[in-house]
Structure 1
Amino acid sequence: MNAPSVQFRDVPESEIARALALAYLVFHENPGSAQRRRHEKLLAGCLRIGAYDGAELVGFAAAHPFALSVPGGGELSCPGLTFVSVAPTHRRRGVLTGMIRELFARCADQGAPLVALWASEASIYGRFGFGPGTYGTTVEIDARRPLALRIAPDPRPLRLVDPEAAPEVLGPYFEGTRAHRAGRLARTRDWWREEWLLEKDEEDEEFSPARVVALGEPLAGYAIYRTKPGDAASQAGGQVRVDELEADSPRVAAALWAYLAGIDLTDRVRAWGRPLDDPLPLFAQDRDQVRVTEEFPALWVRLVDVRAALAARSWAAPVDVVLAVRDARLPANDGTFRLTASPDGFSYAPAAQAPDLSLEVRDLASAFLGAVTVHALVAAGLVVEHTPGAAPMLDAALSVGSLPHTADAF
């Protein structure tokens, strides 16, 4: 239950600094003035929801006005939830629940069928109907020797791109990837500059400014990376941190990885947030040299309007199933519905028949972009298959080429 004295309303721009002070308190942060100014600029363009106990701001949540790519090359309005903060004096009093409820209402008003976030605590957001919509991996390369490959790298020359010009050079190329991979956020010029190409890395100032290497004309692939010098005292070599790598083909990717692993005075390449179907581990000659060290849920997705979300994606094969969807937060999504879809048509309407599959809205969200199969959810005991064959039929319809992938953390 909400505390009776707590009310939820917009946070005006004049109170952004106050909202940030609450967020820094909750996340135990004390950023410098440059990072504070950047956060203020980001929040000025966001939806801002506050929980007020009288005049005191005791809760805050912001949402970026994102658009997310969905299977089939389309995109949907998808606010990106961030800076979610509840004052330590008001925990377990319904403040977070009230802010999420307010956000869902705003989404309905704005016609946004989805909400997404990166979860600081994964155990929290499942109860609000969020499920992992994309997954990522961390890959490390032992760069003390040349990268051994099973395929020949693309022979075209590489070139360094001035970071000042990078949004114009890379932006159209990245936008093209969104038609082939679901889960990608549209990027503005400011987002490129403020999130990808900052002069100074805010988490580790030992890293160099962002570097950009590109291959092909017209562009066939690129990598954004930073370098860090070694430590003579510990005899640790320098490091290359790969923030993003996109390529038209495995050979282009091989050329970029070989370049990154061959940078002088470094002995390790680390790439966080790579897609699960990244071809690098497959075309590496020596898997002791290229290791996947971590796999994790990345972007969490919430279907605010199940029908509108399903209608916006493509369907790889015909499907006709009755779904019993459980949604404790949004009654319009809760119930039994017949889903009839194919590459040529779509229908999703209330049904009186017995369900073929029973599932929670959070698990439907995980399957929506193609990150998780319904069969896997059945095997995990999270989805009940009442009609044999219903899960593989729905999986065939939900099938995607490239797995969904998100590298834009927020």
Structure 2
Amino acid sequence: MAADVRPPRRDEMHAYYRVLPYANGLPQWEPADAAWHGGPEPWPPQRAPATAEQLDRWVEEDFDDPRFHPVAAFDSGACVGASAALSFEVTVPGGGAVPMAGVTSTAVLATHRRRGHLRRMMQAMFDAALDRGEPLAMLSASEGGIYGRYGYGPATYRTRWEIDRGEAAFLPAPPDPGSLELVDAARARECWPVVHARVRAARVGELSAIRGRWDRLTDQPDGTNGPLRYLLHRSPSGEADGIANFRLPWGSTTAEAGTLVVEALEAADPAAYRALWTLLLDFDLTRKVVAHTRPRDEPLRWMLANPRAMRVTRQSDNLWARLLDVPGSLSQRAYSAGELTIAVDGDRMCPANNGTWRLRSDGVSSSCAAVEGPADLTVSPAALGSLYLGGMSAHHLAYAGRITPHAEGAVARLDRMFRTDPEPHNSFAF
């Protein structure tokens, strides 16, 4: 029987999951310190293989979810490759929300690698996303050298940083007009979606929430790490406008004892943000604070009397972006006023992207349409993905040969039109 790439049937979902590393207790990240992990070790311990009961629960949770779009590769009837796209919205420059296919949990059995299964699954997901009206695809890459060949480019970054409590002095500021409250997991589950929705509306690169994202928050201990704690900030009117999840593990060594790990923190305004960090950086019985999956341009640094106190210990890319529909994607974000003619060449997986496109913006509305004639520059599909959210330097991409200018000043114009401040950031991977 010939190899086949298609969505798995319900009765094939157990075999589908068994291809994926997380269902088998196998590594899910390259052997490098992970910026999404707050512990002293490079990454968390691997989980035990999923039981049949867990697989049954995943089938019930996933298969009928309209936002979950699995695809599998079958060879002689056996499932040998698996992936999925999740339907999201991503906030783009200008504040709009663009439909996006979030590619997740991708693997091919080691015995069936280098046979084109991954490319065929990726092509199937691209085609299906376009049919659903999703002009973008994004993913978080477990290895940095795989996805550029499919037209993805790094678009956001994340860092892990540390501050010794004794160095965490803040510059003077007006008193906090709101209030802080330690809450239980039930209240945190109620407040997180409210805060996330406010933050997402204003943050370029942020994603709509995964279904059930906060459902598993609990007050129970997590092994030897101790339970998560929850710190809530309310505005003067009593509205939740900031929240943090943190834990205080005692650590297995003297060096790590008294380390407070901030697992997540979001705030809808600067006063809430400062108030949350002020308390977290001065908790009793702590010596050091570690935060992970944080923005590369964290504003906290500029609130400290000593900006060097915040030491970045790990950094990695987070979202990789891929334009499936060039005019459909480019016309949905805002730019600085200007005009550019951009050529895209060599997109084998989305050939309709190949051509010359005139991008126009008056600073408020924008348009992108096919044109004839010479282009101001040629951009590779991966470079266009990196540029899309406005966080990457067109100059650096041109220096690396990912952008070829054909007109004087075209790279500077591209950079000026596309860049955003602050940098795009997304608070979670998928």
TM-score (norm. length: structure 2): 0.86
Q: Per the alignment, do residues 200 and 14 of structure 1 end up closer, same or farther by CA in structure 2, a change over 3 Å counting? A: farther
Could you tell me how far 1:397 is from its partner in structure 2?
2.1
1:365 matched to 2:364? The reply is no
Could you tell me how far 1:112 is from its partner in structure 2?
0.7
Q: Per the alignment, do residues 189 and 124 of structure 1 end up closer, same or farther by CA in structure 2, a change over 3 Å counting? A: closer
Name the residue aligned to 1:291.
Answer: 311
Name the residue aligned to 2:110.
Answer: 88
Could you tell me how far 1:41 is from its partner in structure 2?
5.3
- 2: CA distance between counterparts of 1:261 and 1:275? 18
Question: Which deviates more from structure 2 when the two are superposed, residues 5-14 or residues 96-105?
Answer: 5-14
Q: Is contact 2:230–2:246 with CA below 8 Å preserved after alignment?
A: yes
Q: Per the alignment, do residues 73 and 43 of structure 1 end up closer, same or farther by CA in structure 2, a change over 3 Å counting? A: same
Q: Is contact 1:229–1:266 with CA below 8 Å preserved after alignment?
A: no
SS in 1 for 2:329: helix
Q: Is contact 2:390–2:424 with CA below 8 Å preserved after alignment?
A: yes
Could you tell me how far 1:337 is from its partner in structure 2?
1.9
- 1: CA distance between counterparts of 2:276 and 2:341? 44
After the TM superposition, which residues 153-232 of structure 1 pair with which residues of structure 2 at under 5 Å, given as runs? 154-155=175-176, 156-187=178-209, 190-194=212-216, 197-198=217-218, 206-216=225-235, 217-231=238-252
- 2: CA distance between counterparts of 1:41 and 1:81? 20
SS in 2 for 1:159: strand
For structure 1, which runs of at least 5 residues remain unmatched after alignment?
Answer: none
1:312 matched to 2:332? The reply is yes
Name the residue aligned to 1:18.
Answer: 15
Could you tell me how far 1:360 is from its partner in structure 2?
0.5
Q: Is contact 1:78–1:113 with CA below 8 Å preserved after alignment?
A: yes
- 1:280 alignment partner, one of 279, 288, 300: 300
1:9 matched to 2:29? The reply is no
Question: Which deviates more from structure 2 when the two are superposed, residues 96-105 or residues 42-51?
Answer: 42-51
- 1: CA distance between counterparts of 2:60 and 2:218? 14
Could you tell me how far 1:278 is from its partner in structure 2?
1.2
Q: Per the alignment, do residues 187 and 64 of structure 1 end up closer, same or farther by CA in structure 2, a change over 3 Å counting? A: same
For structure 2, which runs of at least 5 residues remain unmatched after alignment?
Answer: 28-46
- 1: CA distance between counterparts of 2:56 and 2:291? 28
Could you tell me how far 1:54 is from its partner in structure 2?
2.0
Q: Is contact 1:303–1:309 with CA below 8 Å preserved after alignment?
A: yes
- 2: CA distance between counterparts of 1:297 and 1:47? 25
Name the residue aligned to 2:42.
Answer: none
Could you tell me how far 1:15 is from its partner in structure 2?
2.5
Q: Per the alignment, do residues 90 and 199 of structure 1 end up closer, same or farther by CA in structure 2, a change over 3 Å counting? A: farther
- 1: CA distance between counterparts of 2:303 and 2:283? 20
* RMSD value, Cα: 2.5
- 2: CA distance between counterparts of 1:74 and 1:38? 35
- 1: CA distance between counterparts of 2:2 and 2:271? 61
Q: Per the alignment, do residues 322 and 98 of structure 1 end up closer, same or farther by CA in structure 2, a change over 3 Å counting? A: closer
- 1: CA distance between counterparts of 2:375 and 2:335? 20
Q: Per the alignment, do residues 200 and 39 of structure 1 end up closer, same or farther by CA in structure 2, a change over 3 Å counting? A: farther
1:395 matched to 2:415? The reply is yes
SS in 1 for 2:147: helix
- 1:255 alignment partner, one of 263, 275, 283: 275
Could you tell me how far 1:236 is from its partner in structure 2?
3.4
Could you tell me how far 1:248 is from its partner in structure 2?
4.0
- 1:30 alignment partner, one of 37, 42, 48: 48
Q: Deviations over 1:62-106 (max 9, x none)?
A: 122222111111112212111111011100000101100111110
Q: Is contact 1:146–1:262 with CA below 8 Å preserved after alignment?
A: no
TM-score (norm. length: structure 1): 0.90
SS in 2 for 1:179: helix
SS in 1 for 2:225: coil
Q: Deviations over 1:11-66 (max 9, x none)?
A: 12333222221213593553465875775455333211011112200111112222
- 2: CA distance between counterparts of 1:288 and 1:349? 47
Share of identical aligned residues, percent?
Answer: 33
Letter in 1 for 2:5: F
Name the residue aligned to 2:35.
Answer: none
After the TM superposition, which residues 128-167 of structure 1 pair with which residues of structure 2 at under 5 Å, given as runs? 128-143=150-165, 145=166, 147-152=168-173, 154-155=175-176, 156-167=178-189
- 2: CA distance between counterparts of 1:47 and 1:162? 34
Number of corresponding residues: 402
Question: Which deviates more from structure 2 when the two are superposed, residues 212-221 or residues 400-409?
Answer: 212-221
1:409 matched to 2:408? The reply is no
Could you tell me how far 1:208 is from its partner in structure 2?
1.8
- 2: CA distance between counterparts of 1:338 and 1:69? 23
Q: Is contact 1:227–1:238 with CA below 8 Å preserved after alignment?
A: yes
Q: Is contact 2:129–2:135 with CA below 8 Å preserved after alignment?
A: yes
After the TM superposition, which residues 46-125 of structure 1 pair with which residues of structure 2 at under 5 Å, given as runs? 46-125=68-147
Q: Is contact 1:321–1:339 with CA below 8 Å preserved after alignment?
A: yes
Q: Per the alignment, do residues 114 and 38 of structure 1 end up closer, same or farther by CA in structure 2, a change over 3 Å counting? A: farther
Could you tell me how far 1:131 is from its partner in structure 2?
0.8
